[in-house]
Amino acid sequence: MTALSSDTFPPGFLWGTSIGAHQSEGNNLASDWWALETAADSPIAQPSGDAVDGYHRWNEDLELAAGAGMHDFRFGIEWSRIEPADGRLSVANVQHYRRIVQRADELGLRPLPTLHHFTLPMWFSRSGGWRRPDAIDRFLRYVDAVAPVLECGVERIETINEPNIVAVLAAGATDLSAGLPVPDRQISAVMLELHDATRQHLKRNHPSVLTGWGVSVQDYQPDPDAQSLVADYVHPRDEVFLQASRGDDWVGVQAYTRGRIKNSDGHAQVYLTPGATLTQTGWESYPDALGGAVRRAARVVGDVPIIVTENGIATADDDERIRFTTQALQALRAAMDDGVDVRGYLHWSLLDNYEWGRWEPTFGLVAVDRATFARHPKPSLAWLGALAPTPG
């Protein structure tokens, strides 16, 4: 396989990390996830609490990424901070995210904000959430509210993080380690309409911005007798969302593992490879999945450029993180050599952070002491930064 170096990927190739707002900021008191975590009968044993105090330590995190050699920084804007109560906008929090964009630019990091990353304002969620008849209009009002953030140096915007998982969670799924259930059809339709409306809205008001969204894409590998079942299986789970990207400037692929598919009485069923090594999330450790995922995405989206907006491994062994990411990047480069148009790689994640009800899965290039919030860079941070291509 190709030995990795700073010349492995072309000049101008996006190179950096991703992080989520709720997972890192802490104390998102007005969000629906905070309400769920803190309810007396909550099914979530480990709430986010202070998370990793990213709301206050964002500058340190930016400096860690830039100091390691990264060129790009994907982060989340938290709607519940911008609009904590219905119609009540927080100018202070708009300026907070604006400062993140400005500081990233000063450090040579291209900021890539994500407008929706699973969480919603509690007032919106409790009044119907995405099932509200005016849900899209209310989201576009929020997009207008963060215009000062988007107008101070943002080249790319991700509208929605993993819309297919948003719809899967709406269907009541909790454990995704054994494959994805069929997403909620109504929420899937709303996500498709929301993305298109947001894309058009951004193009009217910010014509130079490059829009896309990040779809969760597994490398589905069917057994020989399951080949005919794959198309119907993957269409509602990710390909309908990839198809909606054909009008975008780019599409994000978020890939971590593969899904083996067998024929179970005429139905597709995902299964784990017997004896497979599992990550802390219960997924098969299969780094080549990144190559398979971008190849399949490319067949669906046509000539739309791909950015890997998430890829990584949940492990306590940083040497294993480097081995996994090495092989994933080699698979990515091989796909590009075969003609897949990939424009960037953003690793999940910069920090060990809150993983939606659990603290044990550690994806980060930087460890965080949750008692003091001190950041402790792992060897993988400097390793990955040293592979950064020449800036474009």
Residue 103, domain member (yes or no) = yes
The per-residue pLDDT for 199 is 98
Q: Report angle CA 354, 19, 30 to the nearest 5 degrees.
A: 60
Q: Note down pLDDT in tens along the chain; length 392 residues.
A: 679 999 999 999 999 999 999 999 999 999 999 999 999 999 998 999 999 999 999 999 999 999 999 999 999 999 999 999 999 999 999 999 999 999 999 999 999 999 999 999 999 999 999 999 999 999 999 999 999 999 999 999 999 999 999 999 998 866 666 678 899 999 999 999 999 999 999 999 999 999 999 999 999 999 999 999 999 999 999 999 999 999 999 999 999 999 999 999 999 999 999 999 999 999 999 999 999 999 999 999 999 999 999 999 999 999 999 999 999 999 999 999 999 999 999 999 999 999 999 999 999 999 999 999 999 999 999 999 999 999 97
> What is the separation of C-alpha 320 from the centre of its chain, rounded to a whole number of angstroms?
21
Q: What domain count does the chain have?
A: 1
Residue 7, domain member (yes or no) = no
Q: One-letter amino acid identity for 104? A: A
The per-residue pLDDT for 175 is 65
The per-residue pLDDT for 177 is 60
Residue 264, domain member (yes or no) = yes
The per-residue pLDDT for 331 is 98
User: Range of 179's domain?
Assistant: 14-387
> How much of the chain is helix, strand and coil, in % rounded to 5?
40, 20, 40
Fill in the DSSP letter of residue 262. E
Pairs from 268-273 (Cβ < 8 Å, separation ≥ 24)? 268/222, 268/226, 268/229, 268/230, 268/232, 268/233, 269/179, 270/178, 270/179, 270/180, 270/220, 271/178, 272/178
Fill in the DSSP letter of residue 323. H
Asked whether 53 and 373 are in contact (CB, 8 A), the reply is yes
The per-residue pLDDT for 392 is 78
- Hey, what are 281's tokens? 């999330």
Residue 392, domain member (yes or no) = no
Backbone angles phi, psi at 269, to 5 degrees: -135, 125
Fill in the DSSP letter of residue 239. I
Residue 3, domain member (yes or no) = no
What ranges in 107-146 are assigned the alpha helix state H? Answer: 122-126, 135-145
Asked whether 80 and 30 are in contact (CB, 8 A), the reply is yes
**CATH code assigned at 92:** 3.20.20.80
- CA dist., res. 113 & res. 385, Å (int): 21
- CA dist., res. 255 & res. 325, Å (int): 12
Dump strand ranges (E) for the chain. 14-18, 72-76, 110-116, 156-161, 210-216, 219-222, 251-254, 258-264, 267-271, 306-310, 342-348, 366-368, 375-377
Residue 164, domain member (yes or no) = yes
Residue 110, domain member (yes or no) = yes
100-120: burial string, b at 16+ Cβ within 10 Å, e else: bbebbeebebbbbbbbbbbbb
Residue 379, domain member (yes or no) = yes
Report the predicted TM-score, pTM, of the whole model to 2 decimal places: 0.98
The three-class DSSP label of residue 333 is helix
Q: What is the CA radius of gyration of the chain?
A: 20
- CA dist., res. 264 & res. 373, Å (int): 48
